[in-house]
Amino acid sequence: MSIDQRLAELGITLPQPAAPVASYVPAVEQGGLLHISGQISFSEDGNLIQGRLGEDMNLERGTAAARRCGIMLLAQMKAALGSLDRVEKVVKLGVFVNSAPDFTDQPKVANGASELMQEVFGEAGRHARSAVGVAVLPWVSPSKWMRSSRSKPDPLEPGPKGFAHRGLHYGSGFPENSLIASAAALELGAGIECDLRLTADDQILVFHDADAWRMCGSPLRIGQSTHEELKKLKVGEGPLPTLESLLALVKGDAPLLLEVKVDSDIWRWVPALRRALAGYAGPFGVMSFDARLARLLKTNMPDVRRGLVVRDDLSPLQRSLAIWLADPDFLAVDRTSLGKSWIARERERMPVYSWTIRSPEQRAQAQVHADALIWEADGRP
């Protein structure tokens, strides 16, 4: 269903976008983010809604006025983008409520527009928000809104199910990074995050650890063993999967996050990835903790969507240098970083995913601060 159809279903008719009244423009699109100038509330018949919360306007009328202000935001967005279907995510709403000094229900007023965004855009309408009371607004409007929305779609958008970390793994029957765990994630309708290791003869395996002790009870090291030597090992009931076998299973039915585990093999990865991914038409991104890998992809495989995995223990300088070197299309960040100001800044430029979500409480926090969640166990949707 298109957004226009959704508006019709909700009985919403967008008004003519309000013209600027001073030296500014209604909206600016920059870096995949659309910034909309402050809007005020007009009724359906085009009259300005006036009043002051806590003085001559009650909460119910204020909430309705905020909804009308949100409708004007939608009108401005459509005028700027041409179609509301271009909206990938409502990132943040800011509200200024014309309030009496003792009025403290600004967040409830703000719900009028916040709930509208979720009604119209669904999960993509869930956003960060600030709501403050002010002494006066232009023409005594009860509320004024500003909005930011990233308008460039994310090709890896997994939907509300997010990415299953190392596939949907649980117990000995569904081991991490196994084909059966990936099949379970497909059945759930989730994207798949998995780890890649390079063998001594440049075959790419879907495997996390540097050696096979934990998963297979073998001392063989992946990077120092040939694929032929590793074929005798099993993960659960199956062999160590290759990247080619994973691609053959998924067939483009779900987005893939492929995390490259760089050892002393950085220069061998691009040729190996080029061979393995040749001809695959489904959505995928290649990411790594090693910023050099993303830089090599940018230079040698520019059409591949590249990401940087970021630990929370990096210093600001280390983080900035890594992001500069990688020049990524997306970030995957430690969940303990969520809520920090640098995350919000980067989300204005690119999608930010968060790992590893393992509980409902972590999920509730991450849904506010990240564009998609990489989850396992009790963090599942």
User: Residue 244 above 90 pLDDT?
Assistant: yes
C-alpha–C-alpha distance, residues 229 and 137, integer Å: 73
Report how far Cα 235 is from the mean position of its chain's Cα atoms.
Answer: 31
Among 124-133, 163-172, 206-215, where is mean pLDDT lowest?
124-133
User: Residue 176 above 60 pLDDT?
Assistant: yes
User: Residue 29 above 90 pLDDT?
Assistant: no
Cis ω for the linkage preceding 199 (within 30 of 0): no
Q: What is the pLDDT of residue 139?
A: 46
Instruction: Identify the band that residue 260 occupies on the pLDDT scale cut at 50, 70 and 90.
Output: very high
Q: What is the pLDDT of residue 50?
A: 82
Q: What angle do CA 110, 364, 37 make, to 5 degrees?
A: 35
C-alpha–C-alpha distance, residues 249 and 354, integer Å: 25
pTM: 0.65
User: Residue 130 above 90 pLDDT?
Assistant: no
Q: What is the pLDDT of residue 26?
A: 83
Question: To 10 degrees, what angle do helices 291-300 and 316-326 make?
Answer: 20
C-alpha–C-alpha distance, residues 205 and 370, integer Å: 29
Q: Report the half-sphere exposure of 141 (CA within 13 A, side-chain side).
A: 21
C-alpha–C-alpha distance, residues 259 and 256, integer Å: 9
Q: Which two tokens stand for residue 77?
A: 């967005």
Question: Does residue 7 contact residue 116 with C-beta atoms inside 8 Å?
Answer: no
C-alpha–C-alpha distance, residues 149 and 32, integer Å: 8
Among 44-58, 92-106, 208-222, 330-344, where is mean pLDDT lowest?
44-58
296-305 confidence digits (pLDDT tens): 999 999 999 9
The residue among 197 and 92 whose pLDDT is bigger is 197
Q: Of 35, 181, 88, nearest to 372 (Cα)? A: 88
Mind giving me the DSSP string for 304-355?
SEEEEEE-TTS-HHHHHHHHHHH--SEEEEEGGGTTSHHHHHHHTTS-EEEE
Is residue 375 exposed (0-12), middle (13-18) or buried (19+ Cβ within 10 Å)? buried
Q: What is the pLDDT of residue 1?
A: 87
> 85 Cβ partners below 8 Å, 6+ apart?
2, 3, 4
User: What's the whole-number average pLDDT of the chain?
Assistant: 91
Q: What is the pLDDT of residue 140?
A: 44
Q: Which helix (H) or strand (E) holds 147?
A: strand 143-150
Q: What is the pLDDT of residue 141?
A: 54
> 297 Cβ partners below 8 Å, 6+ apart?
270, 273, 286, 304, 306
C-alpha–C-alpha distance, residues 379 and 331, integer Å: 20
User: Residue 161 above 80 pLDDT?
Assistant: yes
Q: Which domains does the chain have, with CATH numbers?
A: 3-150 (3.30.1330.40), 163-379 (3.20.20.190)
Q: Report the half-sphere exposure of 338 (CA within 13 A, side-chain side).
A: 23
350-374 confidence digits (pLDDT tens): 999 999 999 998 988 888 888 899 9
Mind giving me the DSSP string for 159-206?
-TT-EEETSS-BTTTB-TT-HHHHHHHHHHT-EEEEEEEE-TTS-EEE
User: Residue 138 above 80 pLDDT?
Assistant: no
The answer to whether the Cα torsion of 280, 283, 288, 290 is positive or negative is positive
Mean pLDDT for the stretch of residues 26-42: 83
Mind giving me the DSSP string for 122-133?
GGGG--EEEEEE
